[in-house]
Structure 1
Amino acid sequence: MTNSLVRQLIDAARARIAAEGMRGLSLRMIAQDAGISLGSLSYRIGDKAALLKQLLEREHQDQQKLHAIWHRRIKSLNLAVPSVLSAVITAWLDEASQPRRVAALAGCELLLEAGANPGSYPGMAAFLDAQDAFWGDMLLAHLPADEARIFGCAIANYIRDELPFSLAAGSNVDYRLLRAATIERLGSRLTVGEIGLSAHFAQLVAASGSESADAPLPVDLLAGTKRAEVATAIASLIAEQGVAAVSHRAVAARAGVSNSSVAHYFRTRADLLDAGFGALVINMRDEFKAHGGLERYGSWAALMRSTHALALAAARDPQFVPFALDMRRRRAENGQDLLRTALSGDAPIDAAAVQSAALILVGNFLAMQARGGLDRPGRLQFEDLARLRRSSIAESA
């Protein structure tokens, strides 16, 4: 197989994932898109695992090229100035959301699926390490080496959590204002106090999440019905194992019903996923109303995965955008007291900085899942973020 045909197949796989999520990673459909037979694709590349391996290798190569472009673009900028660094982070997210949208969607999907099954994505750790290293290297001219490493890791993880929401709602003005406030605080290493947009943070939060209460779900899930019960089973599969795990058979086993019963309510796989995302919205709302009742998914990890899955669904179906933004807001609010206590120290911390820290830690948690566990290199903890704040405050004193 020629290199050009390999690239064509990888491009087809990436485009399928971007358009349909991991459910689109079908060897048959990719062969069709590339204009070759399924047998030829299987003979030349192998099975889906081999395709994923080549896809990750390609993502890594393209990321190296992207980092080189950005290195040239920002090497002369003074990233020690918070407003400059904030503008760079915003530009990075904007480029990912539009010109690089297909690659960004595919990357987000791969990260999410790797968290559910890291053994199937052996190249993901190196991919994530390179992202951390890029931002750390850019900061080396402005900070001591260890601080540059931690701050670079924090930026990379913020982007990992924010990117799915930017893909879903990058054109939403209320979301962009809210995002700008948290990026301001990220650029200043979670310090500075309530100036700029953060002085209006409560209003920005309310505007970004206000539509979801009135927006109708794209699927009818009446409480107490068997249809809603099956949809909840789909939601739990998405939260625990990822979108790729959803099938009529898997949902039937989870819900304790027959395959035909599942098909009666949700005929196609697209119907299954619409119902699952609808149930995620309902279930997450119920959890937040219960103030920490995460037993439904069994873990905080499942809730974090669910918000990303919902944001990626919203990137393809605008009907889900209000719900994705609402979950981003509620998720950050849920742990704000803990974060405020852990990070404030001797200097007060404002709500925008707390939410920025929450996005950093969620991004890091998802990255550590994809690397294979919290004991792997690359983990950020509360103390790392508190240290960044202390060093920034000391510099400005």
Structure 2
Amino acid sequence: MHDKSAPMSEAHNSSKDRIIDTVLQLWEEVGSTGLSVRMLSQTAAVPVSSIYHHFGSLEQLFVVAQEHACACATAWRDRHLHDLKGARMDRQAFGPLLAALIDDWAYQERRLAFAAREGQKLAFRSPHFQAAMARWNTIWTELWHEVCPRFGLENSAMLTARLFESESFLHMIRWRRVVDRAGLEEFARGWAVWLEGRPVPAAPHRDFARAEALREFPALPERDDTASRIAQAAAAIVSQRGTAALTHRAVAAEAGLTLGIVSHKFRTIAELMGAAFEALYLRNVSIEEKGGSDSLWSLNGVVGALERSASNFGPEELLLAVARDPSLRHFAAQLRYLRGRTSGPQLQAIFGPSRTVSPLEAALFSGFLSGQLRTHQAKPSDLFRSHVRQELEQLLGLVMPRGAVSQ
């Protein structure tokens, strides 16, 4: 409750700031698709009327909250740039710094990290958030355009911004803190070496994590045909409309079943949500294990595959859910350390026989592609393809054996 002796303007600002802070809190805890005005009112301890008075609508409140989060992220970036003022180092020093910045963002600024992810989702679904998405991209682009030249990596700033975008997301997923941090260091050092066109060094912590991820592969429950059909329908709804749209009635309509059957198989929304994420996880694993058609094993194939993935938010919802919910932690190691099972063979086909792609190289390529996808996801198809291809050609020009490109 406000101090009655405080000026009216201070009380006004305090209420408005508290509402914005609560949005950031709930973006971290439940996400934008599950956030309502009533939930905001209860969590912030303000009347519903106060929310509409300050912001006019929930969408406008989200716009203002994104602006606030971007301002905080800009301040975070500028603090770290100030720490590096005057620094000039060789490329060997770049990996530890990249790892330190990813770790600091994903752990120390976790709330802002979730705000950035929600901004991406909002931008894809509404043009009102395109400006915020562009500002997030600018924050990271400017960061690495300032940092990379200090390490002799002037031509790699944009590429590093893409990798940072992706790896900072995966680092939000918590598995085993010590292993995660050591594996991140190996990943970042590998990126610095890779940009010189050299094979990446050994990564024993990541190799251990990959082995553990395979050993701890979650034993998902066996489901009958009807339950599997319901799980697939739930996964489709989460992919297309987000977790907030997941209801028993919506799943029944999607699956072509009665509400009674769906409610009998999955009695609570939590059970239905778990089934949806299991289906999304199995779908991703199946795609990675099968690989794809021969057309994927070329530069054009990679661009086309990314474009086809641009409208599928299922993997993003799964990653965010695992980052938020400790009860889904059994997916964490697999999502963090088993990636690259499709992108690795893609890269090998592009490289040709002159160099064998290592698991770390496959993970680096996967991370770069994921960063591209999220950065350009909301753009029109022609711009998406153009930007993705240009960046891919720039990366491959640095890392691949000379003269070994497959269009």
The TM-score, its normalising length taken from structure 2, stands at 0.80
Q: In the alignment, which residue of structure 1 is the partner of 2:283?
A: 283
- Which SS does the other structure have where 1:152 is aligned? helix
Give me the whole-angstrom Cα distance separating, in 1, the residues matched to 2:128 and 2:254.
23
- Which SS does the other structure have where 1:75 is aligned? coil
How many residue pairs end up in the alignment? 379
Deviations 1:19-54 (A, max 9, x none): 122344211111112211112212331222212211
> Are 1:85 and 2:94 an aligned pair?
yes
Deviations 1:83-102 (A, max 9, x none): x2211121112212322112
- Which SS does the other structure have where 2:383 is aligned? coil
Q: In the alignment, which residue of structure 2 is the partner of 1:256?
A: 256
Q: In the alignment, which residue of structure 2 is the partner of 1:59?
A: 69
Alpha-carbon shift at residue 70 of structure 1 (Å): 1.1
Q: In the alignment, which residue of structure 2 is the partner of 1:395?
A: none
Alpha-carbon shift at residue 144 of structure 1 (Å): 7.8
> Are 1:137 and 2:142 an aligned pair?
no
Residue type of the alignment partner of 2:334 = D
Residue type of the alignment partner of 1:52 = F
- Superposed, 1:191-230 pairs within 5 Å as 191=196, 193=198, 196-198=201-203, 200=204, 203-204=207-208, 206-213=210-217, 215-217=218-220, 220=221, 222-230=222-230
Deviations 1:159-187 (A, max 9, x none): 22222321112644444444333211212
Q: In the alignment, which residue of structure 2 is the partner of 1:157?
A: 162
> Are 1:355 and 2:363 an aligned pair?
yes
- Which SS does the other structure have where 2:224 is aligned? coil
Worse overlay, 266-275 or 7-16: 266-275
> Which ranges of structure 1 fall in alignment gaps of 5 or more residues?
393-397
Give me the whole-angstrom Cα distance separating, in 2, the residues matched to 1:105 and 1:25.
14
Alpha-carbon shift at residue 71 of structure 1 (Å): 0.7
- Superposed, 1:1-397 pairs within 5 Å as 2-78=12-88, 80-82=90-92, 84-115=93-124, 117-122=125-130, 123-143=132-152, 147=155, 151-169=156-174, 171-191=176-196, 193=198, 196-198=201-203, 200=204, 203-204=207-208, 206-213=210-217, 215-217=218-220, 220=221, 222-292=222-292, 301=309, 305-342=313-350, 350-371=358-379, 373=381, 375=383, 379=388, 381-389=391-399
Q: Which has the bigger relative contact order, CA under 8 A and spacing at least 6?
A: 1
Worse overlay, 32-41 or 371-380: 371-380
- Which SS does the other structure have where 1:168 is aligned? coil
Residue type of the alignment partner of 1:238 = V
Aligned in 2, Cα 1:325/1:143: closer, same or farther, shift over 3 Å? same
Worse overlay, 56-65 or 322-331: 322-331
Deviations 1:353-397 (A, max 9, x none): 3321220111111111145556058645321102333799xxxxx
Deviations 1:72-114 (A, max 9, x none): 12233335423x2211121112212322112212322332453
Residue type of the alignment partner of 1:169 = R
* Contact 1:23-1:244 within 8 A present in 2 as well: yes
- Structure having the higher Rg: 2
Aligned in 2, Cα 1:118/1:162: closer, same or farther, shift over 3 Å? farther
* Contact 1:15-1:102 within 8 A present in 2 as well: yes
Give me the whole-angstrom Cα distance separating, in 1, the residues matched to 2:43 and 2:101.
30
* Contact 2:175-2:329 within 8 A present in 1 as well: no
- Which SS does the other structure have where 2:18 is aligned? helix
- Which SS does the other structure have where 1:333 is aligned? coil
Worse overlay, 69-78 or 25-34: 69-78
* Contact 2:166-2:371 within 8 A present in 1 as well: yes
Identity percentage of aligned residues:
21
Give me the whole-angstrom Cα distance separating, in 1, the residues matched to 2:382 and 2:192.
26
Alpha-carbon shift at residue 258 of structure 1 (Å): 4.1
- Which SS does the other structure have where 2:88 is aligned? coil
Aligned in 2, Cα 1:179/1:52: closer, same or farther, shift over 3 Å? same
Alpha-carbon shift at residue 251 of structure 1 (Å): 2.6
Aligned in 2, Cα 1:298/1:68: closer, same or farther, shift over 3 Å? closer
Give me the whole-angstrom Cα distance separating, in 2, the residues matched to 1:322 and 1:348.
31
* Contact 1:101-1:167 within 8 A present in 2 as well: yes
Alpha-carbon shift at residue 348 of structure 1 (Å): 6.6
> Which ranges of structure 2 fall in alignment gaps of 5 or more residues?
1-8, 297-304, 403-407
- Which SS does the other structure have where 2:377 is aligned? helix
Alpha-carbon shift at residue 193 of structure 1 (Å): 4.2
* Contact 2:167-2:367 within 8 A present in 1 as well: yes
Residue type of the alignment partner of 2:396 = A
Give me the whole-angstrom Cα distance separating, in 2, the residues matched to 1:166 and 1:336.
20
